[in-house]
């Protein structure tokens, strides 16, 4: 089910060899007739390099659920560079991690869900080409730098931003120069909906970003809801919209007067550079930042540049000070939201103490309760306060916090984000995230996460998959016999008449059978499942009542 798994690997930089693992020029090939979980699985690790690898399948309809999957990997020296990933349901899934992702090619298959899925993840994403997924890029609580990526899609949306996601899609302008940390992304293809879709508490930070939209047959360049913090006007100056002048009807932003003129004419003149800086990203590799003289300085961006340079020069205390200054003095700046995550990343990089994380938790908690800040800032701060608590070893408290958030926000993106993190944390030990988990526990957690992501990408308007149960409304019982061959009985109970869906999934989260799809009366019900034609292994069955998938249980087929 896994090509390579790397767990709990974090060699400190001051050690003689500060690198945990390097995987280069390897081929991961699924030669089976069914979907496998991950080619590369990383959890709770850093100082890792994945470079020049190929991940593919012999069959276009199968492959890996995730080409590369990272989970709770601290923000230092996790480099994913120049890999080719094809025929995977999800090219890269990045959860609570901040990697450097560059020069990768990701191609989906007929079941492709997300080229890149990010949850509370930041870092740098540049020069990648992502094609033929349901969404090329999909994120929750994530604000990475996006530079010169190509998002090519013919399905739903090229980029979908949800739940406090504000990716940086413009260069920094400071002191008369333009620093190309982000911007100049290419959004192309023929998505059904829009080049970029965003919810009311998320938006693309792309003013003077020189991003290019060359869409055909799509409804909108941008489709979303104006974030309340930005007022009536929504600024997207300095981008190319595929035609000159742009079609104003292609901007569908509720509650906003979209400001797109002056627009770029795709002449490339704004992207010219005359010098560059280099930053050490470990493993003997350097990241190059190109620079061009300009005359459009901005105070918040000047501070952000100082913070950015300090962070990558490993002057973490100085960087934290600059980032905090932006959050406090420039509340309405588009940079403020990404500063919050970068503060946390700096604490990770400097290997902060438990006491320092306790103070950081207080800092985020204060922001989360301060109504002077936007909803996006408060949501991100609430989540980073929980993450700071995790760094203090308080896993059970974090699980409880996420459970409370989910209960209050069921069937919303915020609730989904809380649920997926609750499931990940629940699989670890009480003392250390994921440490001590057996392979079977990790595998079981992965299957539940796969089912959650699959339910999310089904996109009926709600993230409506849950592993919580409510005995007052239903009861899903363990199948009998278990293990079985090839028939077993699944029992469930309804307190009231309701619409029911009972489905069976294999170990990768792929649906293999629908047993019930109808309105059922109140009472006890028994359903036979015949696994004739299926191979031995672990399967899961889930109960969906009134549009909510509320129960998941495991069973074993042994032939």
- For residue 470, what pLDDT is reported? 35
For the ranges 279-288, 443-452, 512-521, the lowest mean pLDDT is seen at 443-452
- For residue 70, what pLDDT is reported? 96
Is 108 found in the same domain as 159? no
The predicted-structure confidence for 525-548, as pLDDT tens digits, reads as follows 888 899 998 999 999 999 988 767
Count: domains in the chain: 3
- Looking at the domain assignment, is residue 166 inside a domain? yes
Residue 288 scores a pLDDT above 90: yes
Of 83 and 10, the structure prediction assigns the larger pLDDT to 83
Give percent above pLDDT 70 in the chain: 87
Q: Confidence band (pLDDT; 50, 70, 90) for 15?
A: low
Q: How far is CA 147 from CA 59, 184, 223, 258, 337, in A?
A: 32, 6, 21, 23, 18
- Looking at the domain assignment, is residue 61 inside a domain? yes
Is 119 found in the same domain as 246? no
Q: How far is CA 11 from CA 15, 99, 262, 449, in A?
A: 7, 16, 49, 28
Single out the residue in 269, 297, 325 at which a domain terminates.
297
Answer whether the bond into residue 481 is a cis peptide, omega within 30°. yes
Is 157 found in the same domain as 124? no
Single out the residue in 98, 133, 168 at which a domain terminates.
133
Mean pLDDT of 117-128: 96
* Structural domain boundaries enclosing 546: 474-557
DSSP-derived letter for residue 534 is P
CATH (domain of 483): 2.60.40.1930
Is 129 found in the same domain as 153? no
- Looking at the domain assignment, is residue 174 inside a domain? yes
Is 180 found in the same domain as 129? no
Is 228 found in the same domain as 109? no
Is 165 found in the same domain as 74? no
Single out the residue in 133, 156, 178 at which a domain terminates.
133
The predicted-structure confidence for 384-423, as pLDDT tens digits, reads as follows 999 999 999 999 999 999 999 988 987 788 888 898 898 8
What are φ and ψ of residue 140, in 5° steps?
A: -125, 135
Is 242 found in the same domain as 153? yes
- For residue 448, what pLDDT is reported? 67
Strands of the 548-557 sheet, one edge to the other = 511-520, 498-505, 537-545, 548-557
Question: How many Cβ atoms sit within 10 Å of the Cβ of residue 472?
Answer: 7
- Looking at the domain assignment, is residue 498 inside a domain? yes
CA distance 310 to 474: 55
All residues at 6 or more sequence positions from 72 whose CB lies less than 8 Å from its CB, including other chains? 43, 44, 95, 96, 97, 424, 433, 434
Task: Quote the tokens at residue 553.
Answer: 């249980």
Q: Confidence band (pLDDT; 50, 70, 90) for 183?
A: very high
Is 43 found in the same domain as 67? yes
347: helix, strand or coil: helix
> How much is the pTM?
0.80
- What is the residue-averaged pLDDT of the chain? 85
Is 199 found in the same domain as 59? no
Residue 431 scores a pLDDT above 70: no
Beta-strand pair 114-119/135-140: parallel
Beta strands in 109-156 (DSSP E): 114-119, 124-126, 129-131, 135-140, 145-147, 150-153
Is 125 found in the same domain as 5? yes
- Looking at the domain assignment, is residue 234 inside a domain? yes
- Looking at the domain assignment, is residue 491 inside a domain? yes
- Looking at the domain assignment, is residue 313 inside a domain? no
Is 108 found in the same domain as 47? yes
- For residue 459, what pLDDT is reported? 40
- Looking at the domain assignment, is residue 443 inside a domain? no
**Of 265, 231, 237, nearest in space to 251 by CA:** 237
The predicted-structure confidence for 479-491, as pLDDT tens digits, reads as follows 888 888 888 889 8
Residue 203 scores a pLDDT above 80: yes
């Amino acid at each position: 089910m896994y090509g390579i798994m790397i767990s709990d690997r974090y060699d400190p930089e001051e050690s003689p060899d500060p690198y945990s693992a390097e995987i280069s020029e390897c081929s991961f090939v699924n030669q089976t007739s069914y979907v496998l979980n991950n080619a590369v699985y990383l959890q709770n690790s850093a100082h890792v390099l994945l470079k020049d690898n190929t991940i593919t399948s012999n069959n276009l309809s199968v492959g890996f659920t995730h080409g590369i999957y990272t989970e709770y990997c601290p923000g230092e020296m996790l480099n994913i560079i120049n890999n080719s990933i094809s025929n995977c349901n999800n090219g890269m899934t990045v959860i609570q991690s901040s990697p450097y992702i560059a020069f990768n090619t990701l191609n989906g298959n007929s079941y492709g869900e997300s080229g890149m899925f990010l949850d509370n993840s930041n870092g740098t994403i540049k020069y990648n080409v992502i094609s033929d997924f349901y969404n090329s890029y999909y994120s929750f609580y994530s604000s990475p730098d996006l530079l010169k990526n190509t998002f090519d899609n013919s399905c739903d949306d090229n980029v979908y931003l949800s739940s406090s996601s504000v990716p940086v899609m413009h260069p920094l302008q400071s002191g008369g120069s333009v620093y190309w940390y982000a911007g100049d992304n290419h959004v192309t293809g023929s998505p059904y909906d829009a080049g970029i879709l965003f919810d009311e508490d998320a938006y693309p930070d792309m003013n003077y970003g020189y991003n290019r939209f060359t869409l055909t047959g799509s409804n909108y360049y941008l489709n979303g809801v104006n974030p309340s913090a930005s007022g009536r006007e929504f600024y997207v100056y300095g981008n190319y919209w595929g035609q000159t002048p742009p079609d104003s009807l292609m901007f569908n932003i509720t509650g906003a007067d979209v400001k797109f003129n002056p627009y770029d004419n795709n002449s490339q003149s704004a992207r010219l550079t005359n010098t560059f800086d280099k930053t050490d990203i470990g493993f003997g590799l350097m990241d190059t930042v190109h620079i061009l003289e300009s005359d459009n300085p901005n105070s918040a961006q000047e501070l952000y540049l100082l913070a950015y340079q300090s962070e990558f020069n490993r002057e973490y205390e100085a960087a934290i000070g600059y980032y905090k200054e932006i959050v406090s003095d420039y509340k309405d700046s588009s940079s403020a939201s990404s500063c919050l995550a970068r503060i946390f990343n700096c604490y990770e990089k400097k290997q902060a103490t438990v006491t320092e994380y306790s103070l950081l938790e207080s800092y985020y908690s204060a922001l989360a309760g301060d109504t002077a800040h936007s909803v996006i800032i408060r949501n991100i701060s609430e989540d980073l306060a929980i993450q700071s608590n995790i760094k203090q070893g308080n896993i059970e408290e974090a699980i409880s916090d996420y459970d409370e958030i989910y209960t209050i926000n069921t069937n919303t993106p915020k609730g989904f984000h809380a649920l997926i993190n609750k499931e990940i944390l629940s699989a670890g030990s009480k003392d250390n995230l994921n440490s001590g988990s057996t392979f079977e526990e990790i595998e079981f957690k992965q299957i539940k996460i796969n089912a959650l992501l699959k339910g999310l990408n089904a996109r009926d308007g709600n993230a409506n998959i849950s592993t919580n149960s409510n005995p007052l409304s239903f009861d899903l019982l363990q199948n009998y016999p278990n293990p079985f061959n090839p028939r077993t009985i699944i029992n469930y109970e309804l307190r009231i008449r309701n619409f029911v869906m009972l489905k069976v999934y294999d170990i990768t989260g792929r649906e293999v059978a629908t047993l019930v799809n109808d309105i059922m009366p109140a009472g006890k019900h028994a359903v036979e499942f015949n696994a004739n034609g299926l191979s031995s292994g672990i399967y899961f069955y889930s109960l969906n009542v009134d549009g909510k998938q509320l129960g998941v249980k495991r069973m074993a087929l042994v032939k």
